[in-house]
Homo-oligomer: A and B are copies of this chain.
Amino acid sequence: MRIARFSTGEGVAFGVVEGAQGEEFISRIDGHPFGAIQFTGERYPLQEVRLVAPMLPSKVIAVGRNYAAHAREMGGEPPAEPLIFGKPSTSVIGHGEAIVYPHKLSERVDFEGELAVVIGRLCREVPVERAHEVIFGYTCANDVTARDLQRKDGQWTRAKGFDTFCPIGPWIQTELDPADLAITTTVNGDLKQSARTSQLLHDIPKLIAYITDVMTLIPGDVILTGTPEGVGPLEDGDEVSVGIEGIGTLTNRVVPRD
Residues of B within 8 A of A182 (CB): none
C-alpha spacing A89/B102, complex, angstroms: 26
Contact B89 A214 (CB under 8 A): no
Mask, A64-86, CB within 8 Å of B = 1, is 10000000000000000001111
Judge if A196 is at the interface, Cβ distance under 8 Å: no
Interface residues of A in 37-89 (CB under 8 A from B): 58-59, 61, 64, 83-86, 88-89
Query: Which B residues touch A158, using CB under 8 A?
Result: 84, 214
Q: Does A216 contact B (CB under 8 A)?
A: yes
**Please, which residue of chain B has its CB at the minimum distance from the CB of A104?**
B213
- CB A48 to nearest CB in B, in angstroms, measures 29
CA distance A83 to B149 in the complex (A): 11
Q: In the complex, what residues of B have CB within 8 A of residue A174's CB? A: none
CA gap between A215 and B88 in the complex, in Å: 8
Copies per complex? 2
Taking A58-B89, A59-B88, A89-B59 as contacts, is the C-beta distance between A214 and B105 under 8 angstroms? yes
Residues of chain B with a CB closer than 8 A to A153's CB: 83-84
Q: Is there contact, CB below 8 Å, between B215 and A105?
A: no
Is A194 an interface position by the 8 A CB rule?
Answer: no
Report the minimum CB–CB distance from A220 to chain B (whole Å): 12
A234 CA to B80 CA, complexed, in Å: 28
Beta-carbon contacts under 8 Å, A167-224 to B: 213-218
The digit string for A245-258, where 1 denotes a CB below 8 A from any CB of B, is 00000000000000
Contact across chains for A83 and B215 when beta carbons are under 8 A apart = no
Which residues of the partner chain B approach A85 to less than 8 Å between Cβ atoms?
155, 157
Question: Would you list which residues of chain A between 77 and 109 have a CB under 8 Å from chain B?
Answer: 83-86, 88-91, 102, 104-105
B90 and A162 form a contact (CB under 8 A): no
- Whether A161 contacts B214 by the Cβ 8 Å rule is yes
**A213–B105 touching, CB < 8 Å:** yes
Cβ–Cβ < 8 Å partners of A102 in chain B: 213-214
Instruction: Mark interface residues in A130-155 (1 if CB within 8 Å of B CB, else 0).
Output: 00000000000000000000000111
New A-B contacts (18) at CB < 8 Å, excluding given A84-B157, A84-B161, A90-B217? A59-B90, A61-B88, A64-B155, A83-B155, A84-B155, A86-B88, A86-B157, A86-B161, A90-B215, A90-B216, A91-B215, A102-B213, A105-B214, A155-B155, A155-B156, A158-B214, A161-B214, A163-B216
Give me 5 A-to-B residue pairs in the complex whose CB atoms sit less than 8 angstroms apart, sorted by A's number. A59-B90, A85-B157, A155-B156, A158-B214, A163-B215
